[in-house]
């Protein structure tokens, strides 16, 4: 079996890598806007055009990080429970070996599995999620493991959870967010004001301990990221997302990462280019800060 | 909630109908070629352009058949088992009342649920399936309820099964087909020869008792039906599919029908037009023969 | 006949509604960039993904407003005059009953018919129009009822007219705008400066009496609203349009609304999502202010 | 003003030409499947790739025929009546001078205008039309000049009318066709049988006097001509259309021609290539037979 | 560097392979219809959905043939001469070792390089080419190494050349074909008659010695293979191409193969599926006949 | 031969023009993201919708400038060297006659040829280039005349070079930029800060003598200019590009211009509209300043 490599690098075996790009082309609980199963390959293909030199920090992260692209985790179609178990089986040994995992969805549901494993190693972690939607429903379309419930499942792990960029949620979710401890919301609308934006950065800066970053690409404005299942106008700019990532990495360790929900639009490649660039930027920030 | 009606007719309540068009936008076990969840709506939208007058038989089937378009069965995402149960719950009473059901997928998996219910009323039925693939695998991607296994599940109901138009299958499936009783295969290649074609029509003509027709749209040649998940060259012509449908209806009662696996290509509407036309033709043939 | 409902709500009969979403898939005088006839259905389809809870004001407008989606007004193709008459016949009784009408184009020409009717009830109304083009030509392509003349026809009703977001007009239109009484222009370029933006908001705030809002979607920047017939770079942001709508509703009654000129791009759904969201936001602002 | 030339030839002035390709990008009475206004330019652009040498007859029609591409007739949007008058004004002098006109639509309605003018010069002409639809409605969407009525208007000119390739019509149209004198129908279904095909060719061969050929591109099978407003499966093959054209030209003079109803699909250029090729083939057959 | 494997097999190193699929994403001399550079990857991606079991001969060619997918030959952009030299450098050792090469273009020009190398090993070879165009120009757009000249360059190697499926050529090419020794033409039009088709098969059957097969995908009808730079209506059917390939392999050794000129249409995958299937069928026929 | 005119004006012969829009649909050294060869025609087609009246300066540049659209320079496919020579042959006389040339690519490589000719007349010129990439590689894909090397070749002419909007370059390019005299870089990231932006404008304002402006459209943000070969997020806004153009023209003579690298996305026309608008704005600014 063959698959594309992130950045089209000479492939390192996973066991020799310190960072693993892990494609998870899973899409089974979304009922609208099909296509996230094709997200990982589109991002890997676009990544071949990403310039390796990082013009911001003046280094080549791809040469400095021992990076591997793992074999895609192929979907288990008997239901989301089986799929999440499969993901956990794959990533468990890597997490135990201290590898950094950057997962590429597929639908957002996969984050729940990744965090269940990471929590065993980083019990003091905080979860930071960029998303247009709250994803805090108790259940959706007959399952508690729907993509629309993923942050509810993550929240139930008992760790602090910060959502940024949200601009769409139900009353049920609003009621929960209003009272939930360990929970912090920065709505997209507020991030577009200088004060709201500063408040968010201050909050992120102050997060102690390890942080996991889940990036649902619909957090970005659909003008620059149209290829998502449910585009919501009024989203974050590319520069804002970079700044959030930089702020988190300057603050302390980022111990895992996912980019999810890209559903490629045939013939319109901007979204996957931007996603590939975001992934490389994130890895660059994270490992640059580790080296200091 | 509102949805489109087949043929854009004045909507009849399901309970007053003798034939029910049932949209089932379910897509969860396919791991390639996303989009069948958008198939039913695309077919219903295209059906608004279908001419109601049937130029072949010189009548207006839409006026003669008491026809309703049911509310779509919304996906259950906890796994295919739950979804199939949901479908069965919906169709059971209609089957008991003797209504004719024309289901619009969505993925092929739904056929298994429909047939489980129909068998309770028509224990002597024969299943005729047009498909580019055999769909006879025991299990696929971790589930026995994958779309790639649907005809295996159907076969296990213990009824005669005829496949037409097949041009892609595995060794496992070949081995099964070689020895299976109650099973008949007409490969696409053979249907393109005059003798093979005649043999198939003769076989169909001779089927006794009630027949269920499952039409996976990838049975048609991808030149005229490009919007399917896995197009296979060398498929059936539009005229061939009409002739098969006509032959079955002239022979005896057709007691159920599905059209599945349309995955619309945005901007290229030929496939959904053809599917809508096929559905109307099928209903016309079936009810025309009933009236005689 | 069946059609999609705005927000996929349980359909209320028009006669019981206080607000009516009225699809008018009319497109006959545009000679470039075909497709606005498919705009209303695309917006209604996208509206099914709009979250009902309004996170800005913390309420559910869809539950609070008695809302209906009317049957589309099907095109009359003998010429724009006949079509405008048809529109007037449809909306006249609703306006007399005090219903709020939110029309979905289709081409901009329809606004002229709506305003002719509304003026009979609101003789003191002011018209506010967001548009990339002035649409003030006397005649175009052989007709005074072309979409390129609609604001000229509206202006001739004798009411104050304010245009915002304009960045494209002819010398003829420039000459008119320079001297026209009751007329106010805020060019897109000026709205991108803090002073120009404030001046526009001040002007809107000060408008007395009832206001009608006509939103040609090409007023928005084509980066976020690409699906329009003649995209013009340098347009308004989503946030700007929301702010304009909010300002108008805080000020006094908004008595009618249209969203026009969406020409969907197959496979690229951002535009219709944004349009659906804008319509819901507008209804929310308008009815929220009414309740206070 | 500039426009593309058919075949990208060195442009001959219309007054020096014996054959005039006339683009008429008119689209105003169609209410579904927008885009025929972009048909003429797409065909002209594709024609630049057509090989000038005619491999069937071993000559170069483009060198032998004095050919011009006229300026497009820009749409008149006040209604179809005004547009038809405009077309008549343009073509009248050319017809009087005996020029051959090959019109490129745009919607089918334009044929009515062309034939009204041609009849003045060729009172004994017969009209042959290839179309998936009968277009024989008395009135449609409020106008007698809708594209769905064009053959009814043509029939009313009092000349013999032959329709080929039809596979979609209403009861009203069926009733008319059943009894109409001077009228002959060859349904698509029949053209797919050897006997039906031969009967059609025999009929065409026997038509006396001048013939006008109207080619609605939806007569072709949508597998090879997908870019039409309302694709109907089961259409004519490319070879069949060529044979019909050849048969007509071998028989006697063809005195006018139109290709209508191409609505280009962005990114999928097969339809316009085929249309351009058909136009060149038709001109080649017609002028080759004249030279003999 | 990573690339996709044909059929997604466990990758064999090229040195252990007997057959090498060689992607050559070269596109530099085409001046219309961009995109053949993306052809090889599209075919490889589609090949992952090809069923490995060959239902015609009842075997699994992928298990029987020692097959490798080589690294793509990256374009040399200083001009076609340098690119052809590069291709020759890559394939020379493989040809010397007797490996079978199946090249995936990219533009047709690459065939010239492949044949220059193959001729050194197979001086008695015959070249069979399926193409809509003759590609026999002496020079085009300022180069003798344009894709439009490739068969002229091939003919100059001094070996017999048979073209099938041609339906577009210039007078210059017609003149050459009329008199050229060692040259045989079967026009598409003739292949659509029973006699012409039989004559072609008879001719192919009688070719002595080794045969090279060059398959320009535009030889197929654009209804089933729309994704080519210059689609020409009236092409070969899928079944015809299979029969030609089978006939050649039953006759004697086929010693090389290329599939060229696929220019993928985003979102419309039929063409690459068909191309992938054709490649697998060809390899199956060739190696099946070798084993006998 | 016929081609579209910029703005669809009455065509002026080149010899009578003071400004020449020159389409150069050349694309041969790009190995990714095909389609720039279709850029010029797409821009010319879109330009027909550009309003002639310039609402910023209140004049009609199209009436004031003697403007011609030249015949496209057709590609020479024997290699980039031959193509650049061809371009030089075409433009040399026009430059000698003092005509202003606005070239439309095609790939960026063409700029090198244009500047070699312009330097003979304007030996004191400065080159200002907007680009997402530095294009400063010594050689790429085997050629020193690749699009990725064009600014290196330009720099070697010995004139000052300013790059703006860059956000992607290699270490080799970074090393060069660090030490190069006559070279100035304004990275995109810096242009997004008020200070960086002001510094850039100050620098541009202070450039003495004639300036040539090369606009690689990927300098703009892909949100508003998606149709480029390698989109890079974080680019310039439309307003920024206008301001840069205005600043340069207020400062002193701009003596040449190119817009390159548009690769149209079928069905998504925003990019070509924006490019056409940018070209008209640039010509307006340049000739407006000349008139003062």
Q: Is A266 on the interface with F (CB under 8 A)?
A: no
Q: Is B197 on the interface with D (CB under 8 A)?
A: no
Using alpha carbons, select from A91, A89, A93, A87 the residue that is nearest to residue A108. Answer: A87
Whether residues F11 and D5 touch (CB distance < 8 A) is answered with no
| Residue D11 confidence (pLDDT) | 73
Share of chain E above pLDDT 70, in %: 99
Q: Which of residues 270-289 of C touch A (CB under 8 A)?
A: 270, 273-274, 277-278
Q: Which residue in B has a C-alpha nearest to residue D223's C-alpha?
A: B224
pLDDT band at D1 (very low <50, low <70, confident <90, very high): low
Whether residues A273 and F169 touch (CB distance < 8 A) is answered with no
What is the per-residue pLDDT across A130-152, written as a single tens digit (0 to 9) for each?
Answer: 999 999 999 999 999 999 999 99
Whether residues D231 and B269 touch (CB distance < 8 A) is answered with yes
Average pLDDT, chain D: 96
pLDDT band at F292 (very low <50, low <70, confident <90, very high): low
Q: Is A11 on the interface with E (CB under 8 A)?
A: yes
Q: Is E69 on the interface with A (CB under 8 A)?
A: yes
Question: Distance of CA D178 to CAs C66, D172, D182, Å?
Answer: 51, 10, 11
Token readout for E241 is 């191409």
Question: Distance of CA B257 to CAs B97, E282, F184, Å?
Answer: 16, 37, 70
D127 membership: H or E segment, kind and range: strand D126-130
**Positions of E strands within C39-139:** 67-69, 100-105, 126-130
Neighboring chain C residues of B5 at a CB cutoff of 8 Å: 1-2
Token readout for B181 is 């009783």
Q: For residues B41 and F273, what is the distance between their CA atoms, to the nearest angstrom?
A: 33
Q: What is the mean pLDDT of residues C199-222?
A: 98
- Residue in F224, F267, F277 nearest the CB of C223: F224
What is the per-residue pLDDT across C138-162, written as a single tens digit (0 to 9) for each?
Answer: 999 999 999 999 999 999 999 999 9
Whether residues C31 and D74 touch (CB distance < 8 A) is answered with yes
pLDDT band at F289 (very low <50, low <70, confident <90, very high): confident
Contact between F141 and F109 under an 8 Å Cβ cutoff? The reply is no
Q: Does pLDDT of D292 surpass 70? A: no
pLDDT band at F140 (very low <50, low <70, confident <90, very high): very high
Q: What is the mean pLDDT of residues D72-80?
A: 94
- Residue in A53, A223, A270 nearest the CB of F231: A270
- Residue in B2, B8, B266 nearest the CB of C11: B2
| Residue F290 confidence (pLDDT) | 85
Q: For residues B29 and A82, what is the distance between their CA atoms, to the nearest angstrom?
A: 13
Neighboring chain C residues of B264 at a CB cutoff of 8 Å: none
pLDDT band at A206 (very low <50, low <70, confident <90, very high): very high
Q: Is D178 on the interface with B (CB under 8 A)?
A: no
| Residue B292 confidence (pLDDT) | 63
Share of chain A above pLDDT 90, in %: 94
Q: Does pLDDT of C170 surpass 80? A: yes
E53 membership: H or E segment, kind and range: none
Neighboring chain F residues of E29 at a CB cutoff of 8 Å: 28, 77
Q: Which residue in F has a C-alpha nearest to residue E80's C-alpha?
A: F78
CB atoms within 10 A of CB B175: 12
Whether residues C80 and D76 touch (CB distance < 8 A) is answered with no
Q: For residues B261 and B240, what is the distance between their CA atoms, to the nearest angstrom?
A: 19
Neighboring chain A residues of C277 at a CB cutoff of 8 Å: 232-233
Contact between A216 and A131 under an 8 Å Cβ cutoff? The reply is yes
| Residue C253 confidence (pLDDT) | 97
| Residue E292 confidence (pLDDT) | 63
Whether residues D11 and F2 touch (CB distance < 8 A) is answered with yes
| Residue A90 confidence (pLDDT) | 98
Q: What is the mean pLDDT of residues F209-227?
A: 98
* pLDDT per 10-residue tile (average), chain B, 292 residues: 87 93 94 87 96 96 96 94 97 98 97 98 98 96 94 97 98 95 97 98 98 98 97 98 98 98 96 98 95 70
Q: Does pLDDT of C32 surpass 80? A: no
Using alpha carbons, select from A18, A205, A195 the residue that is nearest to residue A126. Answer: A205
Q: For residues F269 and F50, what is the distance between their CA atoms, to the nearest angstrom?
A: 13
Q: Is D29 on the interface with C (CB under 8 A)?
A: yes
Q: Which residues pair with E168 in a beta bridge?
A: E133
DSSP state of D223: T
Whether residues C222 and F224 touch (CB distance < 8 A) is answered with yes
Q: Does pLDDT of C265 surpass 70? A: yes
Q: Which residue in A has a C-alpha nearest to residue F193's C-alpha?
A: A239
- Residue in B51, B221, B239 nearest the CB of D234: B239
Q: Which residues pair with F59 in a beta bridge?
A: F54
Average pLDDT, chain F: 96
Using alpha carbons, select from A184, A182, A170, A175 the residue that is nearest to residue A135. Answer: A170
Contacts of B176 (CB under 8 A, 6+ apart): B136, B152
Token readout for A179 is 């009272």
Q: What is the pTM of this model?
A: 0.97
What is the per-residue pLDDT across C50-82, written as a single tens digit (0 to 9) for each?
Answer: 999 999 999 999 999 999 999 999 999 999 999
Task: For Cα atoms D270, D272, D273, give the angle at the middle one, nearest 5 degrees.
Answer: 65
Q: Which residue in B has a C-alpha nearest to residue C6's C-alpha?
A: B2
Q: For residues E277 and B232, what is the distance between their CA atoms, to the nearest angstrom?
A: 8
Contact between C104 and C43 under an 8 Å Cβ cutoff? The reply is yes
Q: How many CB pairs under 8 A join C and D?
A: 84
Q: Is D4 on the interface with F (CB under 8 A)?
A: yes
3-state secondary structure of B142: coil
């Amino acid at each position: 079996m063959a698959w594309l490599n992130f950045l089209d690098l000479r492939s390192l075996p996973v066991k020799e890598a310190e960072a693993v790009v892990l494609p998870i082309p899973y899409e089974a609980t979304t009922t609208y806007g099909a296509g996230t199963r094709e997200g990982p390959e589109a991002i890997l293909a676009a990544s071949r055009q990403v310039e390796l030199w990082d013009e911001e920090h003046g280094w080549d992260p791809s040469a400095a990080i021992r990076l591997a692209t793992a074999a895609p985790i192929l979907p288990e179609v008997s239901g989301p429970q089986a799929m999440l178990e499969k993901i956990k089986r794959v990533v468990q040994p890597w997490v135990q070996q201290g590898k950094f995992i950057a997962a590429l969805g597929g639908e957002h549901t996969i984050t729940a599995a990744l965090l269940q494993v990471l929590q065993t190693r980083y019990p003091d972690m905080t979860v930071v999620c960029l998303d247009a939607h709250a994803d805090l429903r108790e259940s959706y379309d007959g399952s508690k493991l729907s993509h629309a419930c993923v942050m509810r499942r993550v929240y139930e792990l008992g760790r602090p959870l910060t959502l940024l960029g949200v601009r769409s949620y139900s009353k049920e979710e609003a009621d929960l967010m209003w009272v939930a401890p360990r929970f912090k919301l920065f709505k997209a609308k507020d991030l577009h004001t200088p004060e709201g934006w500063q408040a968010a950065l201050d909050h992120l800066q102050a997060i102690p301990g390890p942080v996991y970053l889940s990036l649902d690409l619909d957090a970005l404005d659909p003008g620059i990221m149209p290829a998502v299942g449910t585009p919501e106008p009024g989203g974050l700019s590319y520069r804002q997302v970079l700044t959030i990532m930089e702020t988190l990495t300057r603050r302390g360790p980022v111990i895992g990462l996912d980019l999810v929900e890209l559903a490629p639009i045939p013939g319109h490649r901007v979204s996957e280019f931007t996603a590939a660039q975001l992934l490389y930027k994130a890895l660059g920030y994270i490992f640059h800060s580790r080296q200091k």
